[in-house]
Structure 1
Amino acid sequence: MVFWVWFLLFINGMLASLYPTTKVCKLLLISLFVFFLPSTLSAQYLFLEKIEACGNASFCMDCGDKKATCDQFTLDYICGQINRRYSFKDVNTSITFQVLVESSGFSCVLSHSDVTNSSLTSELIRYLNGNIWKAAKENGKPISASVNVMFRIANGVMSARMLRMDLSQLAPPGDPVIYNKTITYTNPSLKNYDFKVWTRYNSPLPDNIGQSAAVDKSDILWYATAKGLTRFDGEGFTPVNEFNSPFTAETPVQDITVDKDNFKWAYAYNRVYKYQDGAGWQIYDFKKFLASGVNHILNSRNGKLLFTTKDGLVVVKKDKVVLLNKKTIPQLPSSNISYAFDDSQQRLWIGTSKGTIMMDGHSIITKFNTANTPLKNMSISGATEDENGNIYFSMVDCNKVEGDNDREGIAVLKANGQWLHYNDKNSGMPANHVNTMLYDKFEHVLWIGTDQSGLVRFNLKDEWENYHNNNSAMPGFTVYQLMQDSKGDIYATTANGLTRIKKK
């Protein structure tokens, strides 16, 4: 196994040197990884709770021309037996099992996701081990393979289904791209953090790639993906599905946020949904304003919700809806809105496809395309503010320059009006393209999620640290979104799973 891992990394390095600006190396690495998957993943346990009682040490994961399976009728029978014996009132959870199905059809549970190891889980293990299974076949010959079965409890009823694996998601993420060649990242603070990673293969997470996430006032994390929405309370996941919402288990939820009243707002199926604890879900019909679709739902500090669209910025407060576009604000460079942010001075910053403006509390507008600041001909793509009133903006060049663009990076507006610009040539940033930022109010540092270079910790003075899959427990190098709960724990949605960073 070590040989194949070394071999794949060697090939990936060769390809990266030959094709540094293409996706060829990544595609070939994934192909090689999947090709050698049956041997490299022998005896791998997917879930945290391992059962080391199975005799077969060699198997592949959800593989074969015909994959190992258990009839749905049998799974329904198990659920029927369990539903007669247990009362699941007010229970919403799921347990996933990794089952080894040998070539003979003998079955044995290898691992599962129930960290409590409840009596219910023990009973389900006995049922799964005693089932009649159909072994996987490769070229007509039976082979040993592991498969996953998920049991879900919602609205007082247990149900079950086979949970097929997307093997491409198990491919190594490769190496991060670090454009900054002048900095040696010693990462002195790394030892102070515990990293915990959840994927759809070691937890009930619906998908590894998190499209959006938000933490509510009860410290519940709402995790939205293209394959479903789930809630995480710090210990376990509760699926948001047809039993407790307007969504199915696999509804692609494109964005989610939490407002100052702890209402949850989600965008799916070209509709806006609002969730209130104890009252359930409500559909909001903004079709005439949101015909072009929603890019982001953003929560402002004054209680307004901001919906960015290609036709303008939709502002909602107490069911009153206002559309801001070039017709209502001629100074806007474009009606195609990418981001919006209101700061502690009640100034509204709007990023468009053709530049950025700021409107103060007296409706006086500053156009940055004509100002000598880092925002000239740039669109803000994210923003965060510290307790001293300093504002940090991530930027995208409106001219769509390919590659590592030194005009991007982070623009800082100091409380005294001074502008700063950090990029990978004049600071410790490893790369210029930033996906997300978070000001850590507990440690008073800036966290930066990049597209290719991992997670950055900046102490706002002179120390830059860079965490990724090659030097830390981060599962990869692409970070989409960062959020923090009331205890100071930081959650990062990535291309390779959900990560929690907890101070030791």
Structure 2
Amino acid sequence: MRCDGNKHLSGNIFFLFNYIFAIIGAKLLIVNLMLRNALLLSFMLIFSWITNFCFSQGIGYSFKNITSDQGLVHNHINCTLRDQYNYMWFGTESGLSRFDGLQFTNFRYSSNKGSGLSSNPISGLFEGPEGQIWIRTHSKMNVYDQKRGTITQNIDSILRIWNLPSGDPEIIRSFGNNEFAVLYKDSSLVLFDTQLKKARFFPSIKGRKIVDVLNFSKESFWVVYDNGLVQLIHNRSWKRIKEFALPVDIQRVNYRLFIDGEGDLWVHSKDIPIGAFWIKDGSNEIIPIKERLSNVFVGNIVQDEHGLIWLATDHGGINVFDKKTGSIDIIGHEEYNLRSLPYNSITSLYKDPKGIIWVGTYKGGISYYHPNLLLFPVYQNYAGNSKTLPFDDVNRFIQDDHDNLWIGTNGGGLLHYDVENKIYKQYKHDPSDPNSIPSDVVVSLYLDNKNILWVGTYHGGLSRFDGKTFKTYDKGTGPARLPGDSVWEIFEDSRGRFWIGTLSAGLYLFDQEHERFFPFRSREGKPISSTYVSVLFEDSKKNIWVGNCYRY
């Protein structure tokens, strides 16, 4: 067994493990999406208890980010879709990307109508009949055939297959039971059955344009017109079950609809500053969600696994609305947080069937979040920012009775972190001050039963900290001096005995009242087998276990 005494490396190894663990979690989530769904769900279930603990402590939302550096065709994301084969599709301002969990396949404009798009800007992605991907480009709707791997730019031939009228579809929505709704650019709305290949034309209001349609139940669906008129329509009779007008004076608005898990309807538009309108299921009341938003231009809405409503805003980040309390939390870019959103301008928001939320930002690529994905946020130093971790190389942690953290570093001294106020205080060695910490390399920390902090250092001895000054027991001879000045372990057992383990001087018992050190000897009068003590532990039978390194 190799023993070099470099315990100060343990903190680095611990963080490396956490980093690798988080990456493994992410890889389990995204690698080979078609074949690993069962494994992913198992991973989520196994670690859900860890996640619940972490997020109950107020850690927040941690995102992973994918950009053009990883192969994404462009960093400005407009829309996202996860298809039935578990491919992720990202529509951007300059092409289309398909992600299989390992690599990207990118599609751009090409005059070759079998392999390229009719134009690069993508504004909408939909999954149509037989798993085909309908791609709303700036010029017209394209269709990607999953089986053949080809793109059709002129889709009249596809529309004829389903007995649909020719034209330029703007939106296609699944209504379930082999039924789809197609909303054309001229506002024509057609419902068709893929099995019967039968189309039915919805009689819309003359002079008004339908801008969105969304299935509500087996018997009904919602439509919204560009003048703010919203209708709930019976699927077979076309009877208007409910109708109301939004309190908006502006005409010809491109509204969007969203239905949450409770059946409540949400109406919003990224083009005008209205926030969002919330209409509870079974109610005619229109509730405006506007005044408390960080930005009133809302482009997308999703609902997370906890029932919270996420509203994507322009330059205001994501506003998370709690329907029960009415409270709003803001998820935004944090300059010194690598796991925050890259920008506050949210251009797309999508929750896939696995519960993962995908966030597109203005030129920031795609960010994704799931509560079971990233278990460990990163705290690190950023030069010039006093609110960040003052020193990156960390050896030890301990939490006091006020839930604040004491952090021992490998060269940055002792750190105190006020959890509530998010403030760090640093204690460093001052050669001119005998009451300062004796070394900036802190390798052990312990709070005794009197809530006094004990600090073990590398080549600085043992210190007792009362909150103001450090009293140090350093290397020397005599009962009041510690023979070893590198204190690797501090431990108080159930009998009140204070144990000190050192790097090279063995194990000692410390009499706090008389401030005397006694080398440990067994009943036979023998010392432990090694002078290097790395860990101390008391079991349920009050036996003391000593971890050391035996040199052969």
- Which of 316, 338, 347 in structure 2 is aligned with 1:453? 316
CA offset at residue 444 of structure 1?
Answer: 1.9
The answer as to whether partners of 2:169 and 2:182 remain within 8 angstroms in 1 is no
1:195 matched to 2:56: no
Give SS of 2:370's match. strand
- Structure 2 counterparts to residues 107-256 of structure 1, below 5 A: 191-200=59-68, 202-240=69-107, 246-247=115-116, 251-256=120-125
1:413 matched to 2:279: yes
Q: TM-score, normalised by structure 1?
A: 0.51
CA offset at residue 492 of structure 1?
Answer: 1.4
The answer as to whether partners of 1:229 and 1:250 remain within 8 angstroms in 2 is no
Question: What residue number does 1:383 align with?
Answer: 257
The answer as to whether partners of 2:117 and 2:151 remain within 8 angstroms in 1 is no
1:263 matched to 2:132: yes
Question: What residue number does 2:239 align with?
Answer: 364
1:307 matched to 2:183: yes
Task: Please list the CA deviations of residues 370-407 of structure 1 after superposition, one character each: whole Å capped at 9, or x if unmatched.
Answer: x476578786722222333222222579xx7xxxx4xx
- Which of 200, 203, 227 in structure 2 is aligned with 1:354? 227
- Structure 2 counterparts to residues 386-397 of structure 1, below 5 A: 386-395=260-269
- Which of 341, 347, 354 in structure 2 is aligned with 1:480? 347
CA offset at residue 197 of structure 1?
Answer: 1.9
Q: 1:372 to 1:211 in 2, by over 3 A?
A: closer
Give SS of 2:59's match. helix
Question: What residue number does 1:431 align with?
Answer: 295
CA offset at residue 237 of structure 1?
Answer: 1.6
Task: Please list the CA deviations of residues 115-169 of structure 1 after superposition, one character each: whole Å capped at 9, or x if unmatched.
Answer: 99xxxxxxxxxxxxxxxxxxxxxxxxxxxxxxxxxxxxxxxxxxxxxxxxxxxxx
Question: What residue number does 2:546 align with?
Answer: none
Question: What residue number does 1:339 align with?
Answer: 212
CA distance in 2, matches of 1:352, 1:450: 22
CA distance in 2, matches of 1:394, 1:252: 22
Give SS of 1:194's match. coil
CA offset at residue 312 of structure 1?
Answer: 3.0
Task: Please list the CA deviations of residues 331-355 of structure 1 after superposition, one character each: whole Å capped at 9, or x if unmatched.
Answer: 3561x33222121263332222223
1:501 matched to 2:369: yes
CA offset at residue 266 of structure 1?
Answer: 1.7
Give SS of 1:344's match. coil
The answer as to whether partners of 1:481 and 1:493 remain within 8 angstroms in 2 is yes
Q: 1:469 to 1:308 in 2, by over 3 A?
A: farther
CA offset at residue 323 of structure 1?
Answer: 5.1
Which structure has the larger Rg over C-alpha atoms? 2
The answer as to whether partners of 2:229 and 2:246 remain within 8 angstroms in 1 is no
**What code does the residue aligned with 2:261 have?**
E
CA offset at residue 320 of structure 1?
Answer: 4.6
CA distance in 1, matches of 2:128, 2:310: 22
Q: TM-score, normalised by structure 2?
A: 0.47
The number of equivalent residue pairs is: 300
**What code does the residue aligned with 2:93 have?**
A
Q: 1:189 to 1:225 in 2, by over 3 A?
A: farther
Identity across the alignment (%): 18
Give SS of 1:474's match. coil
The answer as to whether partners of 1:374 and 1:411 remain within 8 angstroms in 2 is no
CA distance in 2, matches of 1:418, 1:311: 26
Structure 2 residue runs of 5 or longer lacking an equivalent are 1-25, 28-54, 375-552
Of residues 471-480 and 491-500 in structure 1, the stretch that sits farther from structure 2 once superposed is: 471-480
The answer as to whether partners of 2:90 and 2:97 remain within 8 angstroms in 1 is yes
- Structure 2 counterparts to residues 280-299 of structure 1, below 5 A: 280-281=149-150, 283=152, 284-285=155-156, 293-299=168-174
CA distance in 2, matches of 1:372, 1:208: 37
